[in-house]
Amino acid sequence: MCGIFAYLNYNVTRERRYILEVLFNGLRRLEYRGYDSAGISIDSSNQTSDPPLVFRQEGNIESLVKSVYHDVAATDLNLEESFSVHAGISHTRWATHGEPAPKNSHPQSSGVGNDFLVVHNGIITNYEVLKETLLRHGFTFESETDTEVIPKLAKFIFDKANEEGDQSVTFSQVVLEVIRHLEGAYALTFKSRHYPNELIACKRGSPLLLGVKDLEEKASSGSSFSDVKFPSSNGQPKELFLSSDANALVEHTKKVLVIEDGEVVHIKDGGVSIYKFDKGKNGGTLSRPASVQRALSILEMEVEQINKGKYEHYMQKEIHEQPESLTTTMRGRLIRAGSCKAKTVLLGGLKDHLKTIRRSRRIVFVGCGTSYNAALAARSIVEELSGIPVTMEIASDLVDRQGPIYREDTAVFVSQSGETADTLLALEYALENGALCVGITNTVGSAIARHTHCGVHINAGCEIGVASTKAYTSQIVVMAMLALAIGADTLSNQARREAIIDGLFYLPRKVKAVLKLDEEMKDLAKLLIAEQSLLVFGRGYNYASALEGALKVKEVALMHSEGILAGEMKHGPLALVDENLPIVVIATRDSCFSKQQSVIQQLHARKGRLIVMCTEGDKASVSVGGSSRVIEVPQVVDCLQPVINVVPLQLLAYHLTVLRGYNVDQPRNLAKSVTTQ
C-alpha cells in the first residue's frame, strides 16, 4: 500500500515538463498500491532562495495531474525551464492515518519553507510520542498523519546541529538520526532545500528499489556501488529512480538495487552511498557509519508485462493470461518424458531441504486473504502425499495469539508480493522459534524470499490488478508441486503422483478451455447485477474455491458474498435460503460429489435460487427438475480442480464489477500490497 516514486537527473538536461511527466507516469505505474490521494514535489526556479514546490490532491493520479497543471497555469511557472540536475519526489496514498485530503497527502513537510519533505509507505507506531515532543519544541502540525513527525524531526535535528555550530552536518547524518527515533515499518524518501539535488531513501519492512540508468554505457564498474561515486567520478550523465515496485522502473532501466532493511541510500552528485543503520549503535550523536557495497540486479521483466494490451482492465488481462502464467510456473520444474520413471518435479529452491521437510512433525501454511485460500486448496494433497499433518494459519491470528511453532515444524509462508506485513511478522516469529521457513512468492528479491531458509518463486508474471487472479492459480500449482516433491520418496503413492503430473501437464489447455465461458459468465452477471448478497458452497478441495470466489466478488463488485463449507450448511447457513438469494454450489466430480448432490437437493427443497458448477456432462445429475442454472467446466485430477473452478468465479466477479460501474482494478478501500498492519 502507498507508492513512492522519485526521479533525479544528473548532468543530463531535462525540462520541468519532462520531470513532471516522469513523476506522473511513475505514480500511474504504482497506483494499484493506493489511489485515494497523491502528491509531488519539484524544485522552484531558484533553489537557493525559494522553497521546493509541493502539489497535493485528493483522488486518483489524474486528479493530481489536472490540479498541478491548473496551478502551473495560474502561477505562470515555466514548464520549459531546464535543469541539468534536479531531484523530484512523488507519492500515491492508501490512507491509514487521516482521511483522504490534500493536507494528509504526501509529501509531508517540516513546515513553512519546506525545509524537509518526506514521502512514506508504512506506519510509524511511536508517532504520538514524537509528536508530543515536537509540539513542546514549538512545532505545529497541519495533518492527521503519522508521517508528519518525520520531516519535522529532521528539521529539529538539523536546526539543533547548526545551533551547536555543526555547519557541516550532512543529509545522511540528519536522516540517520531521524530513523534512530522511528519505530514501526516504513519506506522513506527525503528531499531538502538545505541539500539541493540530493535524495535519501531508507526502509524497514516496506519495499523500496533504486533504479540506475547510465546514459553513457561505458564503465564496466557499473556493477556495484562505492562510497565515493556511482559508477564513477567522471560526471557521467545518468538518471536515478526510487520506486516501491519494479513496475515503475522497467520502462526506464532494468538495473536495480533492492534496498535492504536498515540501509540508508544517499544520492548526491551522481554518486550513491549506502550506509547500514544499526539502531543499537551511535546513540545520541550525528555519526556516519561505514558505507557498504552492493551489487546491482537485472530485472527479468518487460514493459509489455505492465501494459493492458488488448484488454480494458488489468484484472481482465490477468484472468485471461492464466494459461500462460501456469505454463511459466511449471516450466523447467515439471519433468514428464515417455517413461514412468521420468515423471517427476524439480524444485531447485527446495532440493537441499526436502529431507528436513520430510522429517517435520507438521507443516504449517501461513498466509492472508487469497494466499491463505491458495494454501487451503493445496492442504489436502500435501497431507496425502507427504503423510505429514498440515495446519492452516492466518498470519495476523498466529502473531496475535503467539500460537505454538516448534523447531520440528516446517512453516510455509505464502504471499504474492512477498512483502505482506502480517506474513512477515509471522515469519519473524517462526524464525525466532527455530522452524524451517519456506517462502512461496511471486516477487524475486522480496522480503519473504530473502528471509526464509528456502522457497519457490511462482513465476506468474507481473500482477497489477488489486484482486489477485493468476497469482492464486499459480500458487496452487506450486504447492501441488511441493506436495509431489515431498512425497517423491514414497513408492505407495507413485501412481497418484504420476496422475497429478499428467494433470499438471494438461492444466493450461484446460484453463484455456474454461475461459471460453467468459460470455456465459457475463450473462450470469447481468442477472445478478442488482443483488445484495451471494453465497458460495464448496467442500473438500473446493472449499477454498468457495472462499476465493466469494472473496473476489466481495473485493471488486462490492457485493456481500460468503464462501461456506457445504458440510456446515445445516448449522446456520440454511436459515438464509429462500427463492431470492442466489447460491453458487460447486459440485464437480471428486470424492465429495455425492455429498454435494445431497446439498443441491436440500437447497432445492427450500426453493433455493441455485447456480451449480459441475463437470462437463453432469448437468442432468445436478439440476433438480431443470430449475438450476448450470455452469459446466472441464474435469481434471481432483487436487487441481480448484484451479479450473475458480476461473468462472473470477470472470463473474469481473463482469459484475464492470456492469455495476465500479473500478475493477482499484476497488474501494483496498490496495494491492498490504505492507502495514
Identify the CA nearest to 201 among candidates 8, 36, 1: 8
Distance, CA of 623 to CA of 234 (rounded, Å): 76
Cell numbers describing residue 630: 448450470
Q: Which residues are catalytic?
A: 2
Distance, CA of 182 to CA of 124 (rounded, Å): 7
In the numeric block, the cell 485515494 is attached to 36
The dihedrals phi and psi of 510, each to the nearest 5 degrees, come to -70, -40
CA distances from 357 to 365, 378, 431, 489 (A): 13, 16, 15, 12
State pTM to two decimals. 0.81
Q: 3-state secondary structure string, 397-421? A: HHHHHCCCCCCCEEEEEEECCCCCH
Give the largest Cα separation in the chain, rounded.
Answer: 89
Q: Is the dihedral of CA 531, 533, 537, 542 positive or negative?
A: positive
Q: What is the pLDDT of residue 289?
A: 62
H or E element in which residue 351 lies = none
The dihedrals phi and psi of 486, each to the nearest 5 degrees, come to -65, -40
- Cα Rg of the chain, angstroms: 27
Query: Is 655 exposed, middle or buried, given 0-12, 13-18 or 19+ CB atoms closer than 10 A?
Result: buried
For residues 612-641, average pLDDT: 90
Asked whether the beta carbons of 427 and 437 are under 8 A apart, the reply is: yes
pLDDT 10s digits, 216-238: 754 444 444 443 344 444 578 99
pLDDT 10s digits, 302-346: 666 667 888 999 999 999 999 999 999 999 998 876 655 578 899
Residue 677 has pLDDT above 70, yes or no: no
Q: What is the pLDDT of residue 149?
A: 96
Q: What is the pLDDT of residue 626?
A: 72
Confidence class for position 301, pLDDT limits 50, 70, 90:
low
Q: What is the mean pLDDT of the chain?
A: 89
Instruction: Read off the amino acid at residue 208.
Output: L
Residue 514 has pLDDT above 90, yes or no: yes
Cell numbers describing residue 3: 507508492
Distance, CA of 520 to CA of 629 (rounded, Å): 11
CA distances from 206 to 98, 187, 243, 258, 676 (A): 20, 5, 11, 11, 8
Residue 48 has pLDDT above 90, yes or no: no
Confidence class for position 620, pLDDT limits 50, 70, 90:
confident
Distance, CA of 630 to CA of 622 (rounded, Å): 8
Confidence class for position 673, pLDDT limits 50, 70, 90:
low
Confidence class for position 70, pLDDT limits 50, 70, 90:
very high
Distance, CA of 362 to CA of 26 (rounded, Å): 44
Of 37-41, 279-283, 628-632, least confident by mean pLDDT is 279-283
